[in-house]
Amino acid sequence: MNRCVIIGGASIGNYELVRRYLKPEDFCIFCDSGLRHSALLEAVPQLIVGDFDSHPNPQLPVETIVLPCEKDDTDTMFAAKEAVKRGFSQFLLLGMTGGRLDHTLGNLSVLQMLHQQGKPALLVDDYSEMEMISQQPVIISDNCAYFSLLNISGAAKGITIENAKYPLQDAEIPCDYQYGISNQVLPGRQARVWVETGKLLLIRIFREA
């Protein structure tokens, strides 16, 4: 199936940059106030999800799932679960970071949920790309300014980083000591990263905030 793009309501400053990630064949789910990004992203909703507490229901001729305001799942988590039910296996998440920290952290849990189910997912904002990594080695090219590895859940052990300014071999990054921030790929090389046990959040930073 085509990739599913889920658009949340967090701010997007650089629409030109974010639009580069979109493909004509993407299936786009807009969550509540994420609808405000539709025109500037030049993306047409194919499914709208939300409780419409932060954006009016546009009453478009598009499939719309109206959620109750009092619920356990956030609008974005519901959208991701719904997309998994519909058979999508690859995901792009936009409008997910910035603004309220609780919403940002909640949206990072969407990345974790998709990773747990074996669904590749990339979260993109104005400055960076984010994805969850584990046993499968990941390549990081030297076109990013920095990359960071953060443990946001459980134990992460057997961490290896090759071809970077700060290499690691069979290391551990605990949740209470995040020392894997602001690493750099060696010029002209490609860094290689993997985790033997657990998972990490990989953030590729392309420009400073």
The conformation of residue 34, written as its DSSP 8-state character, comes to G
pLDDT at 58: 83
- Residue range 1-9: mean pLDDT, rounded: 92
Residue 208 pLDDT level (bands cut at 50, 70, 90): low
pLDDT score of 209 more than 90: no
Let me know: does 19 contact 7? Beta carbons within 8 Å.
Answer: no
**Summary mean pLDDT of the chain:** 93
Question: Residue 2 — very low, low, confident or very high, per pLDDT cuts 50/70/90?
Answer: confident
Token couple for 178: 């995040």
Q: Where in the chain is the domain with CATH 2.60.120.320?
A: 132-205
Where in the chain do CATH 3.40.50.10240 domains reside?
4-125
Lowest model confidence (mean pLDDT) among 49-58, 103-112, 139-148: 49-58
If you average pLDDT over residues 114-133, what whole number do you get?
Answer: 96
Region 149-171: what's the mean pLDDT? 95
Q: Is 132-205 assigned to CATH 3.50.50.60?
A: no
Residue 107 CB partners (closer than 8 Å, separation 6+): 8, 10, 74, 76, 93, 96, 97, 123
pLDDT computed for residue 56 by the predictor? 76
Instruction: Check residue 70 and give its pLDDT.
Output: 80
Please give the pLDDT value at position 57: 81
The correct CATH number of 4-125 out of 3.40.50.10240, 3.50.50.60, 1.50.10.10, 3.40.50.150 is 3.40.50.10240
